[in-house]
Structure 1
Amino acid sequence: MGFTLAPTAASQGFRLEAHDSVGSTNALALERARAGDAGKLWVVSKKQESGRGRRGRVWATPEGNLAATLLVVTEGELRMAATLGFVAGLALADALDAVVPKGRISVALDGASAGRNRFELKWPNDVLASGAKLAGILLESTLLDGNRFAVAVGIGVNVVAHPEDLPYPATSLKALGATCDAETLFLALSDAWSENARLWADGRGLTAIRQRWLERAAGLGGEVAVRIDGDVVRGVFETIDEDCRFVIRESGGRMITVAAGDVHFGAVASAGAQ
């Protein structure tokens, strides 16, 4: 089947632009915004030639994987729009729960995870399964006229294949024994986004989003190391604060709040964060 929106999404005014292959769904969505698109546009593809991850890293999307970007155009605060990444993580985890049969996925993250969820959210922008990266989320923005800006909420999911040459574990739905395809996953994602975005309510519901996110948080309460501009901060993953920043409790009890950085859990907290 081809890509299609869930009835809930269509009824709320979301639109769909589907491709067999693109350079980058994020770049295409931002092009549409600069050309006057009003937002609520999903740009999706099963193959992405030049996708990006955080800090400009390459994120491959071979044939059969899912590359999806939602274009959001708003006059609100850019700081608040940045929390859309947490909305995206929750929506994707909900969608995965809906389409992957129970019992197919187990969760284990270097001993740091309590295994409460089959799909866990790693701060700030990854979805994990069996302790390995299954999906990544990337937000990009551009200024528009009229005091508006556009946010491209990019979601890349390893449906049928995953990279092998990464410095951290990665996996795909196929490798985990699931038979879901990209089209089915997107249908569920467009439905789950509608509900989580309603809860977020342009940032007014961020407290509820934060609580839901913490219920799925990978490594919560476990040993963690965060690399920040070459320095490494170590301690216990305490929580995320009211602005969704990462909070570490050092051995002496001091709390450190992190706005951006690379997070490593468990055994990797000692070796991988160097």
Structure 2
Amino acid sequence: MAGFWLGPRAAMRGYRLFGYDSIGSTSSEAMASARRGDAGDVWFAALQQTEGRGRRGRVWESPSGNLAASLLIVHEGDAASVATLGFVAGIALQEALSGNLPASALRIGVDGADGLTGQGHAARLALKWPNDVIADGGKLAGILLEAQGLPDGRMAIVIGFGVNIVAAPTGLPYPATCLHALGTPVSAEAVFAALADAWVDAFELWAGGRGVADVLARWRRHAAGLGSEVAISHDGQVVRGIFETIDEFGRLIVRDGARGTIAITAGDVHFGATATSGRT
């Protein structure tokens, strides 16, 4: 059994944890637990997934030594507020990873998708809308939010996190990286403990949906590609323009010189040379 542990703040708040060396999918296990009547606030973490998935049913590779973790929460709020939990997850994951990544290194980003540090300098880590964390221009981690209604009218929400610790997938249409390749020989268990604690802080900022504005403001501070050329592809259509902001609903706002501003609710985002090349 993998040696995962909760951070002190997560343990103090009463979160529970199931750790695995290998599992089909932590998110599937979390949702199955909800259907069995689990009250939530429970993590499922594994060193390997054999049936991991990303957005739109894509396969998420998770070889042994990487981190797959899913959090089950049971919530009574509306679907609109639940959707913003993806941004809560983003700021929690960014915080957990920033504590494990050296601040300075040779930058190798090729997508023009840099966030900013508090001093206004390019950051190694950035949040890429809607659900990725990138480091030095390569995808380091991803988030998947799933929700299902329960018989009592409440909603089971599973937030899945996948972090490339020891290896990154190859053969992708975008660059990917892992913490070890970035010079950080940290373990999946240590990253998980940091994530569990960072989640507590981010979730308390969210405050049952009342703090969405604060969450989005913090997310924007770490956003990749703000003010740069962006291309968003969705269902065979491509929208191009300038990434202006994330609005109060979490939509990506693109300024198109011909059509004004466009609010994007879903899609695959490309920055920099990729955005202007015509290839997405």
| TM-score in terms of structure 1 length | 0.96
Q: Answer whether contact 1:225 1:273 (CA < 8 A) is retained.
A: no
1:12 paired residue number? 13
1:270 paired residue number? 276
Cα separation, 2, equivalents of 1:142 and 1:13: 23
Residue segments in structure 1 that go unaligned for 5+ positions in a row: none
Opposite residue 95 of structure 1, the aligned amino acid is A
Query: Within 5 A, what are the aligned runs for 1:190-229?
Result: 190-229=196-235
Distance 1:117 1:99, change over 3 A: same
Moved more, 195-204 or 108-117: 108-117
Cα separation, 2, equivalents of 1:62 and 1:110: 25
Cα separation, 1, equivalents of 2:25 and 2:233: 28
Q: Answer whether contact 1:159 1:174 (CA < 8 A) is retained.
A: yes
1:67 and 2:68 aligned: yes
Moved more, 187-196 or 253-262: 253-262
2:48 paired residue number? 47
Out of 139, 149, 162, the residue aligned to residue 145 of structure 2 is 139
Cα separation, 2, equivalents of 1:17 and 1:104: 35
Q: CA deviation at 1:82?
A: 1.2
RMSD: 1.6
Distance 1:37 1:273, change over 3 A: farther
Write out per-residue CA displacement over residues 129-182 of structure 1, whole angstroms, 9 at most, x where no aligned residue: 011100010011211111111011000000000111101100001111111110
Query: Within 5 A, what are the aligned runs for 1:1-274?
Result: 2-104=3-105, 106=107, 108-113=109-114, 115=116, 116-252=122-258, 254-271=260-277, 273-274=279-280
Opposite residue 265 of structure 1, the aligned amino acid is F
Q: CA deviation at 1:73?
A: 0.6
Q: How many residues align?
A: 274
Distance 1:112 1:26, change over 3 A: closer
Cα separation, 1, equivalents of 2:38 and 2:106: 39
Cα separation, 1, equivalents of 2:248 and 2:85: 14
Q: Answer whether contact 1:67 1:157 (CA < 8 A) is retained.
A: yes
Opposite residue 76 of structure 1, the aligned amino acid is G
Cα separation, 1, equivalents of 2:80 and 2:246: 16
Cα separation, 2, equivalents of 1:102 and 1:113: 13
Where does structure 1 differ by over 6 angstroms across 4 or more consecutive aligned residues? none
Opposite residue 79 of structure 2, the aligned amino acid is L
Cα separation, 2, equivalents of 1:228 and 1:68: 27
The 3-state SS of whatever aligns with 1:99 is coil
Q: CA deviation at 1:7?
A: 1.2
